[in-house]
Structure 1
Amino acid sequence: MIRSFYRLFFLFAFCCASLQAQSALDYQEEDQRLFEAMVDRLQSSATLQGPTSERLIALGKTFLGTPYVAKTLEQEGDEQVVLNLRGLDCTTYIENVLAFDRLFQNKQSALEEFGQQLEYIRYRNGQLQGYSSRLHYFTDWIRNNEQKGLIKNMTAALGGVEEERAINFMGTHPQYYPQLSAESEVKKIRKTEETLSKEAFCYIPLDQIEGIEQQIASGDILALVTSIKGLDVTHTGFAIWQGEQLHLMHASTSGEVVISKKPLREYLKGIKKNMGILVVRPL
């Protein structure tokens, strides 16, 4: 009797520990339906057996027409892993495509496993530990996911130029971020910003893109560098070659996930305060 009690006690304790280890997943019934439809359609697709670049383009195209929705990760209360397939912003589009690729490459198919892939990509060192653990700045996102072995920053190798840049927009404008109402959270963000600002900022200027364009591959992640004080990047998407022209496949603020009608260099000319790009290659 006593042995049975202790067995049950330790089983209960183990289950509780397992539940605590898995971060809360925030999704709606429609997200689950969309996820299951995606898995059914693509899990055995021959397209997903090819090189990384081909897989990402195929996955990226499945989201074409998905509405653009800003700030889908900004929820009330404690930070959770948000799984929203109904509407995407430019970063969550990238993250969802990468997460689906990792899911299929790992022979996984459960919604909870997809949530774990999102968490691994979206948060510092792959673990949700509060709002400040989210990789808010895209240069931070790049550096941390490069450390995880998921991507390689190609910018310097393509002839990018370095400059000193103070990245501190969130820390100097906490009023724009409801989750930064607590001073303790602001301090954590500022600590991250101090680290980012100490590192050299490397990018490919607008007038140099033509010279390196042929070295950009379909499936590369392109991040648009801004001159806005305190920021690094304001938009991102996937490079995609259409015939002999390089375009951008992205969650466009104009309304939905699209492939840009204009070639990349022409498209960038229409972006206010754009200085150039970062080029990142998924592995």
Structure 2
Amino acid sequence: MKLKIYIILFFILANSITAQEITCSAKDKEIFTTRIHELKKEYLTKSNFSETIIFVGKTFLGTPYVAKTLEIGIEETLVINLQGLDCTTYIENVLVFSLMLKNDKSDFDTFTSYLEKIRYKNGVLNGYPSRLHYFSEWITNNEEKGIIKNISGDIGGIEMEKDINFMSTHRDLYPFLKEDQNFKGIQQSEKEIGQSTLCFLPKDKIKENEHLIKSGDIIALTTAITGLDVTHTGIAIREKDGRIHLLHASSKGQVEISKLPLVDYLQGIRKNTGIIVNRVQ
């Protein structure tokens, strides 16, 4: 019996992220503590997880948009930045805090554990290539973890047929790709993406299927840009006008709710081809 306990303990320790692998300022740690305290104080048990996503997502309104928040340092670490968010880290942090409320957790170790699980392949930080850089890969991997489900195919979507290789064909844009090991790792990720099936809802099919999108669904905006899958992400939210809008970290400045309904908002994005709709589980 003791041997079994020791084996389990070793497995937990061996698969836990270390303090050296975390990049977090004292200010961000303080923000985390304040945020989880305020969330738990205001949170009322929701009938479904999507409602929790919206509750948490709205608490980030006004948070500044900051690009490339994870591209820091010389080695890949679990970067925690709650002072500024890009569209993907916004989604990740909303998911993590929502899971903490759902599971009645409030400690920093649980926060980092959940964040690592969502951000990295199979939930394990193992260098730069282990991060889910492409959002299509992020979707597929987190679907395998049981966190989300891509429902695009169920609401009129079609299979995406496109070679994903933007990072490897634009190596100079990514400082970490100067290292051959990282470059080869990204090429392998791109190859694996090409071997998976992913459905999206074409732009001209969104309006007729808008009623099937629910508040709390995670929305990824697909693109016609060569080699790239997704250019932006956000959370679907049905507003008082009865239409689906986008709750997102806008590159125009901060986390906000789009003034225009999603269908109209997309018309202003020239290379947008549609959306991927993901339902939290």
Q: Give the Cα–Cα distance (whole angstroms) in 2 for the partners of residues 21 and 252 of structure 1.
A: 33
Q: Give the Cα–Cα distance (whole angstroms) in 2 for the partners of residues 211 and 47 of structure 1.
A: 34
Q: Which amino acid aligns with 1:194?
A: K
CA contact (8 A) 1:47 1:58 kept: no
The root-mean-square deviation of aligned C-alpha atoms, in Å, is: 1.8
CA contact (8 A) 1:165 1:200 kept: no
**TM norm structure 1:** 0.91
User: Is 1:85 aligned to residue 70 of structure 2?
Assistant: no
Higher mean C-alpha displacement, 253-262 vs 197-206 = 197-206
What is the total number of aligned residue pairs between the two structures?
270
The structural deviation recorded for 1:35 is 1.0
Q: Return the match for 1:204 from 201, 205, 209.
A: 201
Question: Structure 1: where are the runs of 5+ without partners?
Answer: 1-13
Q: Give the Cα–Cα distance (whole angstroms) in 2 for the partners of residues 163 and 71 of structure 1.
A: 26
User: Is 1:192 aligned to residue 189 of structure 2?
Assistant: yes
Matches within 5 A, 1:264-283: 264-283=262-281
Matches within 5 A, 1:206-221: 206-221=203-218
Q: Which amino acid aligns with 1:252?
A: S
Q: Give the Cα–Cα distance (whole angstroms) in 2 for the partners of residues 187 and 39 of structure 1.
A: 39
Q: Give the Cα–Cα distance (whole angstroms) in 2 for the partners of residues 48 and 88 of structure 1.
A: 27
Higher mean C-alpha displacement, 43-52 vs 210-219 = 43-52
Question: Structure 2: where are the runs of 5+ without partners?
Answer: 1-8
Q: Give the Cα–Cα distance (whole angstroms) in 1 for the partners of residues 254 and 73 of structure 2.
A: 25
The structural deviation recorded for 1:166 is 0.2
User: Is 1:172 aligned to residue 169 of structure 2?
Assistant: yes
Q: Give the Cα–Cα distance (whole angstroms) in 2 for the partners of residues 209 and 28 of structure 1.
A: 41
What secondary structure sits across from 2:146 in the alignment?
A: coil
Residue in 2 that maps onto 1:98: 95
Residue in 2 that maps onto 1:3: none
Q: Which amino acid aligns with 1:273?
A: K
Q: Return the match for 1:162 from 134, 159, 162.
A: 159
Q: Deviations over 1:82-130 (max 9, x none)?
A: 1110000000000000000112222221122211111000000000000
Residue in 2 that maps onto 1:33: 30
Q: Deviations over 1:40-95 (max 9, x none)?
A: 11114343443111100010000000000000000112111111100000000000
CA contact (8 A) 1:160 1:204 kept: yes
Bigger radius of gyration among the two: 1
Matches within 5 A, 1:70-81: 70-81=67-78
User: Is 1:250 aligned to residue 234 of structure 2?
Assistant: no
Q: Give the Cα–Cα distance (whole angstroms) in 1 for the partners of residues 51 and 33 of structure 2.
A: 22
The structural deviation recorded for 1:172 is 1.2
The structural deviation recorded for 1:202 is 2.1
